[in-house]
Chain A
Amino acid sequence: MTARPSDLPDFEAPPVAEVVLGVKFTIPGGLKVYHIGIYWDRIKSKFPKFQEQPPLPAQDEPAFSFVSGPPPLPRCWFLDDTETRLIQLQADRFIHNWRKVTGKEEYPRYEAIRDEFVDRWDEFCGFLGDQGVSKPILNACELAYVNHISKESCWTEPKDLGRLFSFLATDMSGGAGHTLESVQCGLRFKLPGGNGHLNVSMTPAIRKQDQQEILRFDLSARGAMESGEEAQLLKWFDGARETIVRVFTGLTTEEAHACWKRKT
């Protein structure tokens, strides 16, 4: 398994609810709908459940589209028995998610999820080769951490969030005793070395699973791939992960760290 950098902040009970590793690619000649079925047959023993979802839109295309040719492939979800792990596949994306379903699952850590992604991606590329499909040309990648900070875990009212996030004021009353109703914001950072951007968003929400009020705190890094080599891809993921963990730690306070049982 990939080693964790020793100086990276570590939490015993981080609020992470989902980790996403994904790539965007082009396949010369394209992926056809029948490939999806054959691919599922290949992985069905590990991912026996299937769902169709609308395709994710392209990230950086002009703000209008023309419809021509056959309809776009859907986004297919292949889920394992526990539904904590799933693969999302569409014509230009391959995404591996780990997520909490019951809320009681232990976070397996980035290193394990990354290794799972590598296994699944290699398997997918192998499958394409077997089908005589051209090798995918990688053009972008994404690493996202979705944190659910539950109400009652370390905050009860929106004004408490000033004690958890270092970029918010400790006095969240607007200076005149007003009642803060909700907090929502977005931040954007450059990844080191011009490797893309890290988008951070904070959104109040209610979770379907237990109808709990949460603060969803997302850190999502995206970057372009130039060489398309797997070694470069993994280096990008590791670098993005390090930035995400350091930014997460920097944007949160010691009080929040204590709540999430910071170890190092």
Chain B
Amino acid sequence: MMMVPNMSITASQPKPSPRGLADADVQFRHMEEPITDDAILSAKFLATKGNQAFQGSPGHLPWQRWAEGDSTSTMDVIPTTDLPTWLRACLPRLLRLCGLKPNWDSYGSPPPSLALVKGVISWLRLAEKETLPEPEVVPASAGGIQLEWYLGKRELEIEFTATGQIEYLRSDNERREEKEDVIKNLDDLRSLLGWLIG
């Protein structure tokens, strides 16, 4: 849990929902309340819906906030501060997905938006897993992004949909087990990534 003293907009606590985080609201609230990582993530990820940027950079230092949150600059750059090496390395591939042509899959899918890429990065940055291998990065239908890890007998696919849902499929080829579900919060994500390298 962290204190956020200088944000302009924060998130409500995520509401339990069968559709994951998509039903949570971004709303104004007093700034001195403690904000959980999950609440920040839900705000950040939800803000990607409608191709909007999140206003304010929770937990960031003042110069980061100046550079990002209330900046009048209009150029699309992704700060790489605090990103683990594997995430920094796959960032160019994530960004290249935004350059796909509409209908790239011949099923009418749009390219992933830059806002979705930013949402994916926010989740993975806050998961704080430094030692992961680089994932495969592939576009998913309807403007989503899928990350795929193959590590020994374990495989993990995580899909960030354009509608704000995060789904996964994990396979243990040694035990011949498969599981798929929705990632509801940061603990779920950390746990999955921990399973992969565990």
Secondary structure call for the B interface: loop
CB within 8 Å for A56 and B80 given contacts A64-B29, A216-B67: no
Considering only residues 197-231 of chain A, those with a C-beta below 8 Å from chain B are 199, 201, 203-209, 211, 213-214, 216, 218, 220
CB within 8 Å for A20 and B73 given contacts A63-B5, A206-B92: yes
A142 CB within 8 Å of chain B:
yes
B79 CB within 8 Å of chain A:
yes
B179 CB within 8 Å of chain A:
no
The answer to whether B72 touches A144, judged by C-beta atoms less than 8 angstroms apart, is yes
The answer to whether B5 touches A186, judged by C-beta atoms less than 8 angstroms apart, is no
The answer to whether A205 touches B92, judged by C-beta atoms less than 8 angstroms apart, is no
Considering only residues 29-46 of chain B, those with a C-beta below 8 Å from chain A are 29-32
* Chain B proximity of A95: nearest CB distance (Å): 5
Considering only residues 216-261 of chain A, those with a C-beta below 8 Å from chain B are 216, 218, 220
Considering only residues 48-96 of chain B, those with a C-beta below 8 Å from chain A are 52-53, 55-56, 61-64, 66-67, 69-81, 85, 88, 91-92, 95-96
Q: Which residue of B lies closest to A63 (CB)?
A: B31
Across-interface contacts of A213 in B (CB, < 8 A)? 80
The answer to whether B81 touches A211, judged by C-beta atoms less than 8 angstroms apart, is no
Q: Which residue of the partner chain, among B70, B77, B85, B95, contacts A56 with CB atoms under 8 Å?
A: B70
Known: A144-B71, A203-B79, A205-B79. 17 other contacts (CB 8 A): A53-B52, A54-B53, A54-B55, A56-B70, A56-B72, A63-B6, A64-B31, A65-B28, A97-B73, A142-B72, A184-B63, A184-B64, A203-B81, A204-B80, A207-B76, A211-B95, A218-B66
Q: List 5 A-B contacts (CB under 8 A).
A: A56-B55, A184-B81, A205-B78, A207-B76, A220-B71
- Enumerate chain B interface residues (CB-CB to A < 8 A): 5-9, 28-32, 47, 52-53, 55-56, 61-64, 66-67, 69-81, 85, 88, 91-92, 95-96, 98, 114
